[in-house]
Amino acid sequence: MPTNRQFLLDSRPQGAASAANFKLVTGETPPLQEGQVLVRHHYLSLDPYMRGRMDDAKNYAAPQPLGQVMQGGTVGEVVESRSPRFQAGDKVLGQGGWQEYSVVDAEQKGALRKVDTSQVPLSYYLGAVGMPGVTAWYGLEKIIRPQAGKTVVVSAAAGAVGSAFGALAKARGCRAVGIAGGPDKCRYVVDDLGFDACLDYKQHPDAGSLSKALKQACPDGVDGYFENVGGMVMDAVMLRMNPFGRIAVCGMIAGYDGRPVPMTYPQLILRSRLTVEGFIVGEHMEVWPQALQELADLVAAGKLRPRESIAQGIESAPEAFLGLLHGRNFGKQLVKLV
């Protein structure tokens, strides 16, 4: 059996996460038992939600256990199988975590899924045609409930979720406005992803300034908002929400360093009769087949052109993850292992 390098969560962050919280170890993969398969990971997904699970605190999922492999999505290839459901060479999606190989019980429901790479690149199953894409689909379709001609806004628009959100919104006839960090990301959001406008939050010192820019980009106000960031960005958008607007809360990356994320204008929820709903996409598996099919079709048609930030080698995972938390990635953050 091959040698396997793994990153464990070695300690819990005190405030901001650091590379010292992780430990790289090397070991042998165990021999396969009946019904198991050995998967060699080609790509490892890095996602903001992982930061919350590093803390031993109340969350929607159990904390990441200390001394165990960091959990996360992976795509790769079956290299050995003792299951009739998989053969060597199958391309698969799973939750292999921060390691180069995983031994998977193929009989466990949802543990491993074959993927078709004839029209969709393998790495996209961790982004546009994976969990981030379905996250965008659910927030837009089930919470914002878009109508043609209405205006929708998404923060972190150049990221894996935001890019899929834009393509889905345009497919429904909406005006799509993004918020991103830096001129390069904003150009990508408009030129490559097809948004109607994108605002660089780094050019605005406070919510009032960003809100004024939003007024120009959204002359008819904002009907739906997909929240990935929180803090000043959310304050600015709330000031432009139309009556009976709808906000899908997916992430609060502004608070992932352990600091609180206050809301400056909570009274607007009442005044504008807003619907504000948080969600976890893993609790809505019933929508995944429909969402994944639409996302795959958009990619195949060239209407969704996601960008990826790819770090090389397992040893790069901690720094790439920390960079993600500070917005240094451009598109979906991955670690290439093969």
Residues 14-47: tens digit of each pLDDT? 988 999 999 999 999 999 999 999 999 999 999 9
> What is the tally of structural domains in the chain?
2
pTM of the model: 0.89
Same structural domain, 218 and 245: yes
Task: Judge whether residue 261 has pLDDT over 90.
Answer: no
Residue 84 domain-assigned (yes or no): yes
Q: Give residue 122's pLDDT.
A: 97
pLDDT in the model for residue 15: 87
Between CA 92 and CA 68 the distance in angstroms is 23
Residues 147 and 172 in one domain: yes
Please write the tens of the pLDDT for every residue from 98-154. 999 999 999 898 899 999 999 899 999 999 999 999 999 999 999 999 999 999 999
In this structure, what CATH number is given to the domain that contains residue 325? 3.90.180.10
- For residue 243, give its domain range: 131-282
Q: Is residue 299 part of a domain?
A: no
**81 lies in a domain?**
yes
**Within-domain flag for 291:** no
Could you tell me if 159 and 58 lie in one domain?
no
Residues 174 and 140 in one domain: yes
Quick one: 277 and 312 in the same domain?
A: no
Q: Is residue 287 part of a domain?
A: no
Contacts 24+ apart (CB under 8 A), 213-220: 214/153, 214/177, 214/239, 214/240, 215/240, 217/177, 218/151, 218/153, 218/175, 218/177, 220/151, 220/175
Q: What is the pLDDT of residue 12?
A: 96
Same domain, 174 and 274: yes
Q: Do the Cβ atoms of 219 and 199 come closer than 8 Å?
A: no
Asked whether residue 313 is assigned to any structural domain, the reply reads yes
Q: Specify if 294 maps to a domain.
A: no
